[in-house]
Amino acid sequence: MSAISTKPNPLDLDLAGCESLVIALGFKAFHGRNLFKWLHKHGVVDFDAMTDLPKTLRTALLDTAEIRLPRILQTHPSADGTIKWVMELTDGQRVETVFIPEGKRSTICVSSQVGCALECAFCATARQGFNRNLNVSEIIGQVWHAARQLDASPTNVVMMGMGEPLANFEAAVTAMDIMQDDLAYMLAKHRVTLSTSGIVPNIYRLREVSDVSLAVSLHAPTDALRDELVPINRKYPLAELMPACKHYVAGDKRRKITWEYVMLDGINDSLAQAKQLIRLLEGIPSKVNLIPFNPFTGSDFGTSPPERVEAFRERLARSGIFTMTRKTRGDEIAAACGQLVGRVEDRTGRLGRVRIETHSRVSVR
């Protein structure tokens, strides 16, 4: 592999960053706006093709900067229209990005890290360990490629791919700002969703700097169960997580927290647990997504039967909580929730010590 360039990458910069880049080269801020628009709205990554930039600026950019994108290594289409792309980064690491069509809607599920360090018991990504954070260009580069492949910007982006976005806070926030910029992908705040397992301090930070929608990987209505399924709960238990989420949507009656709840057979799917969940969510504007578990090699969990999922959904809905059962999409290409497993080097040693026995240790009722 050739040496990785150390030149600044304009795709790592938001609009203000592009303006600062060209000002530092002796040009006007509006040239930075044009550069930003060429990169994202038009998808042009050749400085010489940016025809409304002065020739002297294009020469200066060629000398001092370099546009670097992930490259699409593999494309896996599904019969239901879902597409999974495996993207290779400049250092040879790989991440996965998923396109999910739904009528006139098109959602891109974007990764924020190579692997994940949070060890959620039911997640395939967690089984591979953690390598590193993605930089801004590697996050927004996934959206850039999707827009080029689909010949249109997506209508929705969800930061629900590989990794925990709030553990890569600055890069994730900058990338989401670019997604929303009118000179880039023009996504409204409710069209960009960040999903977190519950890093409480960064939920408060996110409220201060961003207005994207928030989804929380909950998966259990009690600390005892969530400690096993989502180990970050041991550091930030429900008594801290729930007030942070309530604060995030305070002051906007139209906003809700989306709670992601993977349905695990005999683990978290009883009517008694549905009632516990209702009590837990009391006073928080909420939408619950029930997600049928997607089995993967080495998993010790089973998928809740459809009739039990429906009973759980009906009990929540009867209490007034808007509840949906998510369709399983892209199963045959391992593109569904919790299945993204881009190839990484396991530097944590987790693959040798995964707690396969979690299923038998969890109290199910």
Q: Is 164 annotated as a binding residue?
A: yes
C-alpha to C-alpha distances, 138 to 17, 73, 90, 162, nearest whole angstrom: 16, 14, 9, 12
> Three-state SS string across the chain, please?
CCCCCCCCCHHHCCHHHHHHHHHHCCCCHHHHHHHHHHHHCCCCCCHHHCCCCCHHHHHHHHHHCCCCCCEEEEEEECCCCCEEEEEECCCCCEEEEEEEEECCEEEEECCCEEECCCCCCCCHHHHCCEEEECCHHHHHHHHHHHHHHHCCCCCEEEECCCCCHHHHHHHHHHHHHHHHCCCCCCCCHHHEEEEECCCHHHHHHHHHHCCCEEEEECCCCCHHHHHHHCHHHHCCCHHHHHHHHHHHHCCCCCCCEEEEEEEECCCCCCHHHHHHHHHHCCCCCEEEEEEECCCCCCCCCCECCHHHHHHHHHHHHHCCCEEEECCCCCHHHCCCCCCCCCCCCCCCCHHHCCCCCHHHHCCCC
Q: Is 229 annotated as a binding residue?
A: no
**Catalytic choice (18, 109, 245, 337):** 337
Q: Is 218 annotated as a binding residue?
A: yes
Q: Is 219 annotated as a binding residue?
A: yes
**Catalytic choice (18, 19, 96, 138):** 96
Q: Is 53 annotated as a binding residue?
A: no
* Chain centroid to CA 235: 21
In the annotation, is 337 catalytic? yes
Q: Is 271 annotated as a binding residue?
A: no
Q: Is 217 annotated as a binding residue?
A: yes
Q: Is 123 annotated as a binding residue?
A: yes
In the annotation, is 245 catalytic? no
Which residues line the annotated binding site? 116, 120, 123, 163-164, 195, 217-219, 294
Which residues line the annotated binding site for S-adenosyl-L-methionine? 163-164, 195, 217-219, 294
Which residues line the annotated binding site for [4Fe-4S] cluster? 116, 120, 123
Active site amino acids? 96, 337
